[in-house]
Structure 1
Amino acid sequence: MIAGAVAMWKALPIAQRRMIVLLAAAIGLANIAQPYPDLAPLQHGPTVALVLTAPWLLRRWPLSTSSIGCIWLFLLLHTVGARWIYSYVPYDDWARALSGHDISSLFGMTRNGYDRLVHFGFGALLTLPIAEAARRHGGLPLRWSLAFAFAAIGLGSALYEIFEWLLTIMAAGETADYYNGQQGDVWDAQKDMAAAQVGSALALIALLRRRG
């Protein structure tokens, strides 16, 4: 069993192996002096599962290093957000330390917008790997694979928002509120889904221009 796991690991391109290792290191760093330890397993658990199963998944359904890079970047964005349960990512503190100005004032933001960035990244960064998987493993032609990816982003966004809604119903009120990151915005779910679709649409335009 161990020999098989080692063989699967060695069969991956070295760039993909490095990305898996770097993501695992990022998850470890994100949990040092974890500010929200009660929510950390819920936030980081799926990413840890992906890291552990990545060699098998990529052996079974290989993707190009470009697609894996997109997934890796999205998961890094998520890992940063997960450390501060999204609603409290201190990007304004970082911006003030670097430039003396904060991002919220610059753009007139009244809420922490990091979660919206990650929803946008979900669409912008995962459209390529979904389209490649549909073409390579599903046999779809190029344009149909792109259409499938755009639809899959919409479906994935909607299912995630439904999951958050169910969590809000089942979990303790404060825990659910911290996890779903609504921050008092009753239209948060719709805006998140729109951000993902805009990201996917921009990715499709870039892909079509590159291939056109």
Structure 2
Amino acid sequence: MSGRLPVVLLCLFLAVAVVLGIDPYDRSDWLLENALVVLVLAVVLAGHRHRPLSGVAYVALFAFLLLHEVGAHYTYSKVPWAQWWQALCGIAPSPARNPFDRAVHFAYGLLLAPAVSDWTAARTPLRGRALRVVVVALLTAGSALYEMIEWVAAEAFGGELGTAYLGTQGDEWDAQKDMALALAGSLLWALLPRRLSRA
């Protein structure tokens, strides 16, 4: 893997993050959402020197963080995906709920799997199917942990910020559906050919 790829992706991501951070829909929600990004980047940067990830993992992580930045800019429930879809396809969708956050939960399972696989393989003897099972389990557990963090943050901040951050859009089963989509994304990764999944 080229040593330049992570640097190029990091620079591109930071440029996009700065642009999307100039005038977000809700500054407080943007800050709260980006606390997660700072944590992820700190972990990746700390591990890069001694145990770099594969190129596939860096690209997939970059794609996931871009999706997250879009959600942070608009707040997940207000991403104008329907207008983008209509501009792209000429068809105006009319869903009862903005599905952008659900798509990002699916992307979490699919796009973080290569990085979690690389991280796990570098620290354990796991390979092949056993590695894939552990990666799926780790991502599912991470998704559940995130839903609990989201709940605690929403309770702590309350009001409009708590509602914006939680983003349930009135669905009482939002957390369970989000976790199911993260699981589905990681299972799709586990079914990919080895050259694509890197496990």
Instruction: Give the TM-score, by structure 2 length.
Output: 0.90
Question: Any conservation in 2 of the 1:19–1:72 contact (CA below 8 Å)?
Answer: yes
Separation in 1, partners of 2:188, 2:44 = 27
Which residue, out of 46, 52, 56, partners 1:66? 56
- The one of the two structures with greater contact order (alpha-carbon pairs below 8 A, sep at least 6) is 2
**C-alpha RMSD of the superposition:** 2.1
Q: Which residue of 1 aligns with 2:21?
A: 31
1:77 partner letter: L
1:156 partner letter: G
Which residue, out of 13, 33, 52, partners 1:43? 33
Unaligned runs of 5+ in 2: none
Distance 1:173 1:87, change over 3 A: same
Question: Any conservation in 1 of the 2:109–2:186 contact (CA below 8 Å)?
Answer: yes
| Other structure's SS at 2:27 match | coil
Percentage of matched positions with identical amino acids:
35
Distance 1:150 1:53, change over 3 A: closer
Unaligned runs of 5+ in 1: 1-11
How do 1:116-155 and structure 2 match up within 5 A?
116-155=102-141
Question: Any conservation in 2 of the 1:23–1:51 contact (CA below 8 Å)?
Answer: no
Separation in 1, partners of 2:18, 2:131 = 35
Question: Any conservation in 2 of the 1:24–1:48 contact (CA below 8 Å)?
Answer: no
Q: Which residue of 2 aligns with 1:5?
A: none
Which residue, out of 29, 47, 57, partners 2:47? 57
| Other structure's SS at 1:38 match | helix
Instruction: Give the TM-score, by structure 1 length.
Output: 0.85
Question: Any conservation in 1 of the 2:25–2:75 contact (CA below 8 Å)?
Answer: no
Deviations 1:93-132 (A, max 9, x none): 2223344322x33xxx211100000000011111122122
Distance 1:101 1:191, change over 3 A: same
User: Bigger radius of gyration, 1 or 2?
Assistant: 1
* Displacement after TM superposition at 1:206 (Å): 0.6
Matched, 1:112 2:94: no
